[in-house]
Amino acid sequence: MQNQTSLDHSLAGTILNQVERLVLEAEEAKKPLEVDPYRSHLFELFVTADAAGYTSDESDPDLSADGLCKQLAAEWKLAAATQESFEHQTKLDAASLSRMRLLWSLMRMWMEWSYAWQRWPEFRGSPGGQKPADDQ
The whole-number average pLDDT for the span 56-60 is 85
The whole-number average pLDDT for the span 59-63 is 89
Largest interatomic CA distance in the chain: 59
pLDDT in tens, 19-32: 999 999 999 999 99
SS (H, E, C) 80-98: HHHHHHHHHCCCCCHHHHH
**Cα–Cα distance between 84 and 80 in angstroms, integer?**
6
At residue 1, the pLDDT reads 36
- pTM confidence score: 0.76
Q: Around Cβ 56, how many Cβ atoms within 10 Å? A: 14
pLDDT in tens, 86-117: 777 777 677 877 888 999 999 999 999 999 88
